[in-house]
Each structure stands twice: as structure tokens, then as C-alpha cells.
Amino acid sequence: MLGKHVTDGVYGKEEPGRVAEAFEIGDFKPGVRAKARCDVMGVEPYSELDGMLVRRFLTPAHDQALKTLAFWMEQAGMTARRDPAGNLVGRYEGDTPNAPALLIGSHIDSVRNGGRYDGALGVMLGIDVVEALARAGRRPPFAIEVIAFGDEEGSRFPASMTCSRAVAGTVKPSVMEMTDGDGVSLAEAFAAFGLDPTRLEEAARKPGEVFAFLEAHIEQGPVLEAEGLALGVVTAIAAQKRLMVRFTGMAGHAGTTPMNLRKDPGPAAAEAILALERICSGGKDGLVGTVGRITALPGAFNVIPGAVEYSMDVRAEVAAIRDVAVEAVTAEIEAIAARRGLDVSVTLMQDLAASPCDPSLTALLEDAVAAIGQAPRRLPSGAGHDAMVIADLCPTAMLFIRCEGGISHNPREAVTEADCALAAQAMLGFVDRISTQFSLSSRTSAQREDPGPTRELGASGDPGSALRSARDDKL
Ligand code: GLV
Ligand code: MN
Ligand code: MN
């Protein structure tokens, strides 16, 4: 017997094409509350600064956010713990204790002067989904864990996704040597946050503990809005590289050094940045290149800089296309430095592979979106997400939520309550569908191995294997 929640759906019987009734329990409206909670966390003490949202990894604002999130997770019926990488993990047991978990979540850090919903909305939606189940007295045949990853943006340290890489077991202890803009190492920041930097790798989840990951996230682009759609289903996340470029010349007096006798790295950097724009413009398959940070050193009106350093972020849906662009721009950078008599270094800081979402989970998510009367629009993601890293641990699915004007990484980021409510409903429908799949695959393995009761084998066997093997085939 699969259980009532599997056959009936969270909203009662679903009919194709019928829009689900808005789901409300008292004054709790899943999704609507998630948005409101993002708004709560848009200001101090959940932001490091007054007047703009900046919540970077391992700062007091991050700590405050985790304290409040833990409270909300417990209110929703979960137990909450901080893991050794600085993630917050809430666990809602399934109908059998210690069953493998469906992981739902996103990141709680932000960029500087960022929006309120990038990352945070996926965490809040996860909490709302669990609370909806708990208030309905329902437990799926697996556990649900809601995770707030600590560092997706990389806005404090140069590499991003440190926390999801730790969970996936793909982080290297050498990340502890990275330093932030104030020269604080990641190891020092861990210690200041009450975490042991030597235990980072203990955040890795063991095979079988987590069988699937669902991330809901604002689209951060204009496609859904342009097509009048609230939700989208992600097919794949683009490959990205982060690099640091440093041109080194000779610092000097801005008033006394004639133009032809300078070794000024500033104009070299300007030329090189234009080369990046040219190489990436009109590129196929979502090729984009961005210089988001430029530093001239020592940095004064009246000093020719001795060095100019800038970041390069290059992405494409296909890694080979991204890599050809990076090689072309690196060749131009070297030619510019040679022509101007400067030294230059190009350092790779991070290389994230493109990450296809799992086809079978994606089909379940599409089905859940269609069941609430929404067109299941498929689209790729140019933005990076924790899901691309968690794909090394388990199959992943991603739900996109329309955002106003496609604006993100900007305080003008906006979503509607109605869209967030639809997202929560689609996620609950996904939980129903994966419950069915989970029970069926448990039953299949039960028939193969032992004709004992489905529920027991669901907990002790490997019910996620059907989903994992779908991903293995693809890879
Ligand atoms: C995160 O927002 C990224 O795409 O870099
Ligand atoms: Mn972001
Ligand atoms: Mn994000």
C-alpha cells in the first residue's frame, strides 16, 4: 500500500489541467510565507550593512540567519543542526525512521547589495513544504532534509559553492587557504564562526543517505516573464570558470611621468576587458564573459598603478565552448602584456562543469507543474546553483520562479506571492510523485531480493537506486 498521500496528492485528487486550490492552513500559506520570510531576512541583523542586503559566508549576519532558520525549521517539525561546513540542515523523518532523504534547499548567502530572493527563497520554500506536510500529519516514505547552504555566491572568498561541494564530498582541504578581501583565511573564518576547519570534509554525505536534491530558485533571467509563465523546469546548468588576471607594471607619479615612459597596467586591463567582451559577444550556447571586480593598486588619484587585478567569469552551456573562449582571451591578454612590456598572470580560481538535471526527476517536476495548471516550460540556467555541485552526490531537479524583469544580483529583485504559492504547490506535487516512484522502486527491489514488506525494504534497501541509475546512464 503506497499510502494516502501518494495516491491522493497533497491537494486531493488532481485532474489534468485543473488549477489546484490555493493551499492554506489557518493563516499559513505555503510560498506566500516563504516570500515574507525572505523579506524579513533582507535587512539587519540578517544583513551586514544597513540600507543594503549583504550576507556573506561566516559573518555575524550569516549566524543570525542560521539561528532564525533553525527556529523556523523546528517550528515546521524538523530537527535542525549545523554541519561541519557551516550549512544548516533541518530533518523531517519519513514514515520509517532513518530512511534516505530527499534534500530540498538552496543558499542563504548573498552578493553585496543583492536581492532578497536569490537563494533564500529556495530555503524558505523547503521549510514551507515540510510544514505543509507536517500540518497535514503526513510523512513520505523517505525523510526530507531542508538545507541552507552557506556559500554559493563566493562573495567573500574567491571560490564559490564551498559548502555544497563539502556536502557532495568534492571539496579539497586546500580551500582553507583562500583569503577574503581583508586577508582573513577561510580557516580563520571557520574558527571565528565556531567551526573546526580540519573537519570540513566531514560534511560529506554518505552514499545512500541522500537520494535526490530539489532546488527552487528565482530564474534570474527574463524568459518566464516574457512568456507569461510563473514557473520553469531547469534542464541543465551552464559550465563556468572563474579566473583572476593581474597585469603588473611600475607604480609612479601621475604628474611627472610622461605618457611614453609609463608602464601602466590600467590601459592594458581596459584593452583586455574589451577583448573578453568581443570574444564572448555573439557566442553560441549561452557564452558570456563578465569582469565583476577591478582593483588598481595602490589605488589613488595621483598614482600610476603598479598592478591592476580583475576577475573574469566565463560561462557557456557547453564546457568546450567556454574553454575555447577562455583560451582565446588568455592569448590576447598575453599579447597585450608583451606589447606593453608588462608582466601578467592568469590564474584559474574555479572550474565548474556543466550540470544536466536528472531526466526522470525533471519529468516528475514537469508533471507536478502541469498538474497545477501551469505550462511546464523547460529552460537552461546560465546562473550557477548549488544543484550543479550536488549532482556529484545524487540526481538533481530544479524549479525556476519568475522574477520581475529578470533582474537579480540587484536590490530590485522581486517575485510575486502568487508565483511563490504556485512554486510551493509544485514542490508538494513533486514530493507526492517522488513518493510513488520511491515506493515503486522499493517494491521492485523487494521483489528482486526478498518478498518482504515494501515499507521495511524502503528503509533498509536502496530505494533511490532507480533514480541514481537513470543518472548513471546519462553520464
Ligand atoms: C551565482 O549567482 C552565480 O551564478 O554565480
Ligand atoms: Mn546569486
Ligand atoms: Mn543563487
Tens of pLDDT, residues 100-138: 999 999 999 999 999 999 999 999 999 999 999 999 999
CA-CA distances (angstroms) from residue 147 to 7, 108, 210, 253?
27, 9, 12, 52
Q: Is 274 within 8 Å of 331 (Cβ atoms)?
A: no
Distance from the alpha carbon of residue 262 to the mean position of ligand 2, in angstroms? 39
- If asked whether residues 230 and 274 sit together in one domain, one would say no
Beta carbon of 383 within 6 Å of any ligand 1 atom? yes
- If asked whether residues 289 and 320 sit together in one domain, one would say yes
Model confidence at 22: pLDDT above 50: no
- Ligand 1 mutation pick, 109, 153, 386, 389, max ligand atoms within 8 A of CB: 153
Beta carbon of 153 within 6 Å of any ligand 1 atom? yes
Determine the angle formed by the axes of helices 465-474 and 417-449, rounding to 10 degrees.
100
Model confidence at 405: pLDDT above 80: yes
Task: Rounding to the nearest 10 degrees, give the CA dihedral for residues 354, 357, 397, 105.
Answer: -20
> Which amino acid appears at position 194 of this protein?
G
At residue 447, the pLDDT reads 55
Distance from the alpha carbon of residue 86 to the mean position of ligand 1, in angstroms? 19
What CA–CA distance (Å, rounded) separates 460 from 464? Answer: 11
pLDDT band at 446; cut points 50, 70, 90: low
Q: Is 111 within 8 Å of 153 (Cβ atoms)?
A: yes
Q: Is 274 within 8 Å of 332 (Cβ atoms)?
A: no
What CA–CA distance (Å, rounded) separates 352 from 149? Answer: 17
At residue 19, the pLDDT reads 38
Beta carbon of 109 within 6 Å of any ligand 1 atom? no
At residue 21, the pLDDT reads 44
User: What CATH number has the domain bearing residue 186?
Assistant: 3.40.630.10
Annotate the chain with three-state secondary structure: CCCHHHHHCCCCCCCCCCCCCCCCECCECCCHHHHHHHHHCCCCCCCCECCECCCCCCCHHHHHHHHHHHHHHHHCCCEEEECCCCCEEEEECCCCCCCCEEEEEEECCCCCCCCCCCCHHHHHHHHHHHHHHHHCCCCCCCEEEEEEECCCCCCCCCCCCHHHHHHHCCCCHHHHHCECCCCCEHHHHHHHCCCCHHHHHHHCCCCCCEEEEEEEEECCCCHHHHCCCCEEEEEEECEEEEEEEEEECCCEECCCCCHHHCCCHHHHHHHHHHHHHHHHCCCCCCCEEECCCEEEECCCCCEECCEEEEEEEEEECCHHHHHHHHHHHHHHHHHHHHHHCCEEEEEEEEEECCEECCHHHHHHHHHHHHHCCCCCEEEEECCCCHHHHHCCCCCEEEEEECCHHHCCCCCCCCCCHHHHHHHHHHHHHHHHHHHHHHHHHHHHHHHHHCCCCHHHHHHHCCCCHHHHHHHHHHC
Side-chain half-sphere CA neighbours of 198 within 13 A: 0
At residue 458, the pLDDT reads 24
Nearest to 11 by CA among 24, 27, 26, 28: 24
- The number of residues making up the chain comes to 475
Q: Is 428 within 8 Å of 414 (Cβ atoms)?
A: no
- If asked whether residues 229 and 182 sit together in one domain, one would say yes
**CB atoms near residue 162 (< 10 Å):** 27
Percent of the chain at pLDDT exceeding 90 = 84
Beta carbon of 384 within 6 Å of any ligand 1 atom? yes
Percent of the chain at pLDDT exceeding 70 = 88
Distance from the alpha carbon of residue 63 to the mean position of ligand 3, in angstroms? 19
- If asked whether residues 386 and 456 sit together in one domain, one would say yes
Model confidence at 51: pLDDT above 80: yes
210-218 and 396-401 as β-strands: parallel, antiparallel, unpaired?
A: parallel
Q: What is the mean pLDDT of residues 319-326?
A: 96
Beta carbon of 413 within 6 Å of any ligand 1 atom? no
Strand pairing partners for 387?
none
Model confidence at 181: pLDDT above 80: yes
User: What CATH number has the domain bearing residue 275?
Assistant: 3.30.70.360
Nearest to 275 by CA among 286, 263, 291: 291
pLDDT band at 468; cut points 50, 70, 90: very low
At residue 444, the pLDDT reads 65
What CA–CA distance (Å, rounded) separates 44 from 33? Answer: 19
Atom index in ligand 1 nearest the CA of residue 220 equals: 2
At residue 82, the pLDDT reads 98
Atom index in ligand 1 nearest the CA of residue 119 equals: 2
- Ligand 1 mutation pick, 53, 107, 149, 160, max ligand atoms within 8 A of CB: 160
pLDDT band at 461; cut points 50, 70, 90: very low
Distance from the alpha carbon of residue 390 to the mean position of ligand 1, in angstroms? 15
Task: Give me the domain span that covers residue 251.
Answer: 240-352
Whose Cα sits closest to atom 3 in ligand 1? 384
Model confidence at 450: pLDDT above 70: no
pLDDT band at 282; cut points 50, 70, 90: confident
Query: Which of residues 334, 352, 370 is at a domain's end?
Result: 352
Distance from the alpha carbon of residue 335 to the mean position of ligand 1, in angstroms? 30
What CA–CA distance (Å, rounded) separates 188 from 246? Answer: 26
What CA–CA distance (Å, rounded) separates 92 from 457? Answer: 19
Q: Is 20 within 8 Å of 11 (Cβ atoms)?
A: yes
- If asked whether residues 393 and 332 sit together in one domain, one would say no
- If asked whether residues 163 and 256 sit together in one domain, one would say no
- If asked whether residues 255 and 334 sit together in one domain, one would say yes
- If asked whether residues 347 and 433 sit together in one domain, one would say no
At residue 443, the pLDDT reads 64
Query: Which of residues 298, 333, 352 is at a domain's end?
Result: 352
Cell numbers at 356, concatenated: 544536466
What digits encode the pLDDT tens for the residues 78-87? 999 999 999 9
- Ligand 1 mutation pick, 56, 113, 117, 152, max ligand atoms within 8 A of CB: 152
At residue 311, the pLDDT reads 97
**CB atoms near residue 232 (< 10 Å):** 26
Taking only Cα atoms into account, the Rg of the chain, rounded to an integer number of angstroms, comes to 24
Model confidence at 273: pLDDT above 80: yes
Average pLDDT, the chain: 89
Beta carbon of 65 within 6 Å of any ligand 1 atom? no
- If asked whether residues 43 and 103 sit together in one domain, one would say yes
- If asked whether residues 214 and 283 sit together in one domain, one would say no
- How many domains in the chain? 2
Query: Which of residues 317, 352, 387 is at a domain's end?
Result: 352
pLDDT band at 283; cut points 50, 70, 90: low
Distance from the alpha carbon of residue 167 to the mean position of ligand 1, in angstroms? 18
- If asked whether residues 14 and 147 sit together in one domain, one would say yes
- If asked whether residues 449 and 462 sit together in one domain, one would say yes
What digits encode the pLDDT tens for the residues 200-227? 999 999 989 999 999 999 999 999 999 9
What digits encode the pLDDT tens for the residues 129-148? 999 999 999 999 999 999 99
Model confidence at 347: pLDDT above 90: yes
**Confidence (pTM):** 0.85
Q: What is the mean pLDDT of residues 33-52?
A: 97
